[in-house]
Amino acid sequence: MLQYAMTNGQPIVRTRMAPSPTGELHIGSLRTLLYSYAFAKKNHGQFIIRIEDTDQKRLVSGAQDRILKDIKDCGLSWDEGPDIGGSYGPYVQTERLALYQKYIQELLDKKLAYYCFCTSGDLETMRATQRAAKQIPKYDRRCLKLSADQIQTNLQNKVPYVIRLKVPDNEVISFTDAVRGEIKINTTDIDDQVLVKSNGIPTYHFAVVVDDHLMKISHIFRGDEWISSTPKQIILYRYFNWEVPQFAHLTVLLDPTHQGKMSKRFGSVFVRQFLDNGYLPEALLNFLMLLGWNPGTDQEIFTLTDFIEQFSLDHLHKKQPIFDIKKLDYLNGLYLRQKSDAELFPLFKKYLPKASDETIKTLVPILKSRIAKLSDLPIQTNFLFEDIDYSHELLLQRQTPSVLAKEMLTQARQLLEKIPEYNFPALQTGLMDLIKQNGWNIGQFFMVFRVAICGVTQTPPIVDCLPILSRKSTIRKIDLAISKLSA
């Protein structure tokens, strides 16, 4: 029985992303979603969102809505899903329980699944014995030997149970993965997977197969940690006489600072963290496009439309990519610089709530080429809105003697107090003339001056910022610096 939707005798490409609302949307999941989305659109198919909420114990309140919002905020959409419906709904697994009951009963009737009444204590003892014997821990099938009468008695007595898959003995399950090629696994190494838990809710392995078949999913993109689970699912497809979809198991994203995959112990891993940190959605997507795929050329900048046009399964990588945050910063900075000042205004306003509209309009052209992400803005401009405490040693940049630093700031104060026009051209000319008259080192002067005004050594162009800061505030900051040098 073909599972694919058909039009004019040809199968329609249908892909899906099925996040679990047990937490926030991981950046790796967004990469998987992006590839699945692009493949569907490249082939004029449909992309579906399905919520897999069978793990009821780990559900996080509000996570489903936040996941959907994160996807939308990244500029992606779906053709069918829990919020918009579709021809193959419902699109939330716990709303599909009656469907699963029908198919689990079919497996029971065919003796391809069986009731298991073992307790958690029984299972732990079983595993301990197997480990001691240096065997692979897996269910020993003791409940498979129960008679029909014993099963019926247990059911009548309401003995808790799960339903397990009867895995065929000593059979090689093979499939061709779009990324890794042919993969073979012997069923000897496969456990009799639980299909329905004691609370009556199906496990992921059962529900995902039923859902993907009924929703006519043709291609499945997911992380390579699911490779070992694929044979169990293929067995189910065969038991139901359903066509197996094409699998593409994608590489995991490696942490740039520590060995192994990305971990929240070492930095941001959730999509919302990156968005809140001031990364533009289009830059984030562009970065993710290149983590596991390339076009076969040197091109690095892709719009979503470009990516869809060029996306191909043939160019998926087998090598695990490193999540290079410096590369993300570079791309984000590039996208920021490509935006007009008018486009950047509302973005700057969000990250600079203390700044007036006029201040933001002045800051945008000054800072747009000097930040990697929007969250850099408060750090870069903090000195404009409050005084920053620092030690007097910080003023002695580039081995400037304390006496010289004090003299530089004293004369600069006198200049700023008397200069008729307090604008960039007048301030730049006045300060450069002052440096020349005294024979000071330009770099040395501006480092001392910058610390006096900003309290840090890395800032936007300091003279550009003086009109924003105002004459009064600038002089107050210089006075504070002079007092530190006089103490």
Confidence of residue 8 (pLDDT cuts 50, 70, 90): low
Q: What distance in Å separates the CA atoms of residue 99 and residue 103, rounded to the nearest whole number?
A: 7
Q: How many CB atoms within 10 Å of residue 139? A: 21
Specify the range with the lowest mean pLDDT, choosing from 241-245, 257-261, 356-360. 257-261
Q: State pLDDT tens for residues 367-410.
A: 999 999 999 999 899 999 988 888 889 999 888 999 999 999 99
Active site residue 339: no
Q: What is the pLDDT of residue 1?
A: 37
Q: What is the pLDDT of residue 32?
A: 97
Q: What is the pLDDT of residue 201?
A: 94
Structure tokens at 92: 């939330």
Determine if the pTM surpasses 0.85.
yes
pLDDT score of 356 more than 50: yes
Q: Nearest CA to 39 among 237, 226, 314, 301?
A: 314
pLDDT score of 267 more than 90: no
Task: Tell me the pairing of strands 194-196 and 181-186.
Answer: unpaired
- CATH level 2 (architecture), domain 387-486: Orthogonal Bundle (1.10)
Options 111, 166, 216, 264, the catalytic residue: 264
Of the chain, the percentage scoring pLDDT greater than 90 comes to: 88
Q: State pLDDT tens for residues 121-180.
A: 999 999 999 999 998 899 999 999 999 999 999 999 999 999 999 999 999 999 999 999
439 within 8 A of 382, measured Cβ to Cβ:
no
25 within 8 A of 270, measured Cβ to Cβ:
yes
Higher pLDDT, 266 or 416: 416
Residue 331 burial by CB count (10 A; 0-12/13-18/19+): exposed, middle or buried? buried
Q: What is the pLDDT of residue 392?
A: 87
pLDDT score of 9 more than 60: no
Query: What is the residue-wise DSSP string for 159-220?
Result: ---EEEE-PPTT-EEEEEETTTEEEEEEGGG----EEE-TTSPBPHHHHHHHHHHHTT--EE
Q: What is the pLDDT of residue 217?
A: 98
220 within 8 A of 248, measured Cβ to Cβ:
yes
Q: What is the pLDDT of residue 75?
A: 97
> Stretch 77-94: mean pLDDT, rounded?
97
pLDDT score of 347 more than 70: yes
Give, for 82, the enclosing helix (H) or strand (E).
none
Q: What is the pLDDT of residue 388?
A: 84
Structure tokens at 257: 């600072």
Q: What is the pLDDT of residue 2?
A: 39
Q: What is the pLDDT of residue 266?
A: 67
> Stretch 466-473: mean pLDDT, rounded?
94
> Stretch 416-439: mean pLDDT, rounded?
95
Confidence of residue 447 (pLDDT cuts 50, 70, 90): very high
Give, for 5, the enclosing helix (H) or strand (E).
none
pLDDT score of 5 more than 60: no
The structural domains of the chain, with segments of one domain joined by +, span 387-486
Q: What is the pLDDT of residue 62?
A: 96
pLDDT score of 339 more than 80: yes
> Stretch 2-15: mean pLDDT, rounded?
66
Q: State pLDDT tens for residues 178-226.
A: 999 999 999 998 999 999 999 999 999 999 999 999 999 999 999 999 9
316 within 8 A of 292, measured Cβ to Cβ:
yes
Q: What is the pLDDT of residue 231?
A: 96
Q: Nearest CA to 332 among 279, 368, 380, 290?
A: 279
Q: Give the strand order in the sheet containing 113-116.
A: 113-116, 162-165, 194-196
Q: Rounded to whole angstroms, what are the CA distances from 143 to 110, 155, 164, 165, 198?
A: 16, 13, 10, 12, 15
Q: What is the pLDDT of residue 6?
A: 55
Mean of pLDDT over the chain: 94
> Stretch 461-471: mean pLDDT, rounded?
93
